[in-house]
């Protein structure tokens, strides 16, 4: 993988590696193939997150940061989740998986699905973050990801361009962790909306565009 971003043709293939900022999100995959190719050499992974599409190839002697590792590492920048992953196994078989949390390591066995989840650490998230919604623009539903670094009562509210509150998605106590909330804007007119996450004295705001 290369640092930065590369566009190929019409669709963007985003290649990210988290090396400079420890607060950036990531995800790792260990693949196990068939008996005649247990390390799944030659497998190709396509990962889809709110930031875009990434591709990685399992090659002997290559791996994250050019180490001699078969583990596949993807930088996710600010994305808290991965929407889906497609694995193209060396024997031509394809498998599709969905909804992975960031900052974890997963093991995938050909024909056996995700058989185990290994985490690098069980520490709670170290920051209070509100991520960009996806898709954006949207019609009529979108997903709002966020993470909490401590147990707290939170509010997630939606406001229109005039500052009027049009929805309260959450008003409850939640433990630290990563979350996704789906907002259905059916019945609301097209336009710019703001979603605000509040926790005691802290708040975060982002903008969403509803296009019907």
Along the chain (212 residues), what's the average pLDDT of each consecutive run of 10 residues? 39 39 74 84 90 84 46 85 90 87 85 62 64 90 89 94 94 87 94 94 92 92
- CA dihedral for 13, 15, 21, 24, sign (positive or negative): positive
From 98, 118, 138, give the residue that closes a domain: 118
Q: For residue 63, what are its two tokens?
A: 């791996």
- Whether this model's pTM surpasses 0.85: no
Cβ neighbours for 166, distance < 8 A, ≥ 6 positions apart:
158, 159, 160, 188, 193
Centre a 10 Å sphere on the Cβ of residue 116 and count the other Cβ atoms it contains. Answer: 11
Backbone φ and ψ of 94, nearest 5°: -120, 145
Domain of 155 in residue numbering reads as 129-210
In a domain, 123, yes or no: no
Question: How far apart, in whole angstroms, are the C-alpha atoms of residue 26 and residue 28?
Answer: 7
> In 3-state terms, what secondary structure has residue 64?
helix
Those residues whose C-beta lies under 8 Å from the C-beta of residue 75, and which sit 6 or more positions away, are: 1, 16, 17, 18, 24, 25, 26
pLDDT at 210 (0 to 100): 96
Domain-located, residue 1: no
Shared domain for 40 and 94, answered yes or no, is yes
Alpha-carbon span 123 to 94, nearest angstrom: 34
d(CA 36, CA 91) in angstroms, rounded, equals: 10
- Tell whether 146 is covered by a domain: yes
**How far out from the chain centre does Cα 1 lie?**
18
Residue 187 covered by a domain:
yes
Say what the pLDDT of residue 177 is.
Answer: 82
What does the pLDDT read at residue 20? 39
pLDDT of residue 23: 52
Same domain, 40 and 86: yes
Does 56 share its domain with 109?
A: yes
Has residue 124 been placed in a domain?
A: no
pLDDT of residue 60: 60
The pLDDT score that the predictor gives to residue 209 is 94
pLDDT of residue 192: 95
DSSP 193: E
Residue 195: beta bridge partners? 158, 206
């Amino acid at each position: 993988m290369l640092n930065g971003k590369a566009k190929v043709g019409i669709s963007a293939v985003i290649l990210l590696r988290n090396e400079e900022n420890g607060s950036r999100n990531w995800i790792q995959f260990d693949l196990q193939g068939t008996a005649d190719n247990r390390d799944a050499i030659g497998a190709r992974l396509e990962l889809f997150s709110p930031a875009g599409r990434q591709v990685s190839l399992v090659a002997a002697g290559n791996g994250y940061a050019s180490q001699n590792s078969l583990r596949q590492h993807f930088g996710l920048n600010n994305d808290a989740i991965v929407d889906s992953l497609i694995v193209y196994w060396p024997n031509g078989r394809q498998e599709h998986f969905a909804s992975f949390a960031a900052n974890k390591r997963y093991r995938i066995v050909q024909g056996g699905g995700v058989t185990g989840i290994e985490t690098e650490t069980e520490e709670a998230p170290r920051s209070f973050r509100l991520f960009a919604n996806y898709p954006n623009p949207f019609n009529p539903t979108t997903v709002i990801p966020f993470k909490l670094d401590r147990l707290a009562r939170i509010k997630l509210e939606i406001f229109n361009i005039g500052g009027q509150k049009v929805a309260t998605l959450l008003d409850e106590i939640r433990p630290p962790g990563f979350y996704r909330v789906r907002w259905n804007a059916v019945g609301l007119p097209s336009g710019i909306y703001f979603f605000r996450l509040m926790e005691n004295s802290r708040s975060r705001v982002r903008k969403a565009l509803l296009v019907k």
